[in-house]
């Protein structure tokens, strides 16, 4: 999203190659609806995260955000994508109700999160998800918003200097990923 066209194209080509490799190993293709659901989630959560940290997006900004992700979806050969932000909103709501359910796989995923993140970071993950996810997802996962965490997230968004953000990253991100995050933030 934040790179020139050539680098974006190379990145998308690598993503396509990795998906093809996964499909080959599994002996089946990843269904189109799965690609669409992930793309829709990225659009939705990008908008929600920005609004949580900074301010609500204007209709023009929402349309611009959608256009960027639409180009990504098209480059990943995802078929039947909506043409406009308004069409995406309708389709996103339909996908949420039709495609999402809490299952044993959901439980297994959250157990893996807890195992890999540790109790403190796992708790923070749940708190941040409670702030970001749509109401339907919040009900499925039985998450409750915490006003303290919401306030801290908004305060984090207002902090422009790297010292406090660096401290927050150190607390939230497991040590094995610190150098990756620092190289990302420098880039």
- Tokens 């420098």, residue? 186
Residues 132 and 176 in one domain: yes
CA distance 27 to 33: 18
DSSP state, residue 83: S
Range of the domain at 58: 5-99
CA distance 138 to 110: 14
Domain boundary residue, one of 51, 68, 99: 99
Output the six-digit token pair for 99: 């495609």
Q: Using CB atoms within 10 A of its CB, is residue 158 exposed (0-12), middle (13-18) or buried (19+)?
A: exposed
Domain boundary residue, one of 99, 120, 154: 99
* Secondary structure tally for the chain: helices H, strands E: 9, 0
Compute and round to an integer the Cα radius of gyration of the chain. 18
- The rounded Cα 67 to chain-centroid distance in angstroms is 16
Q: Select the more confidently predicted residue: 130 or 168.
A: 130
Residues 62 and 112 in one domain: no
Residues 39 and 9 in one domain: yes
- Per the structure, the count of domains in the chain is 2
Residues 91 and 115 in one domain: no
Residues 86 and 126 in one domain: no
pTM over 0.95: no
Domain boundary residue, one of 44, 68, 99: 99
Q: Is the pLDDT of residue 157 over 90?
A: no
Residues 117 and 40 in one domain: no
pLDDT tens-digit series, residues 75-108: 888 999 999 999 999 999 999 999 899 999 999 9
Residues 23 and 61 in one domain: yes
């Amino acid at each position: 999203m934040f790179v020139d066209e050539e680098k974006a194209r190379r990145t998308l080509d690598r993503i396509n190659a990795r998906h093809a490799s996964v499909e080959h190993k599994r002996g089946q293709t990843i269904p189109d609806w799965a690609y669409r659901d992930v793309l829709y989630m990225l659009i939705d959560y990008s908008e929600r995260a920005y609004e949580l940290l900074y301010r609500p997006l204007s209709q023009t900004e929402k349309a611009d955000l959608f256009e960027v992700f639409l180009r990504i979806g098209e480059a990943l050969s995802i078929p039947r994508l909506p043409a406009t932000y308004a069409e995406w909103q309708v389709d996103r709501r339909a996908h949420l109700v039709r495609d999402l359910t809490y299952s044993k796989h959901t439980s297994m995923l959250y157990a893996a999160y807890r195992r890999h993140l540790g109790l403190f970071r796992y708790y923070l993950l749940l708190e941040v998800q409670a702030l970001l996810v749509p109401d339907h997802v919040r009900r499925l996962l039985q998450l409750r918003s915490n006003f303290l965490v919401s306030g801290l997230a908004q305060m984090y968004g207002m902090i422009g200097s790297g010292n406090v953000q660096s401290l927050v990253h150190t607390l939230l991100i497991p040590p094995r990923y610190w150098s990756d995050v620092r190289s990302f933030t420098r880039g």
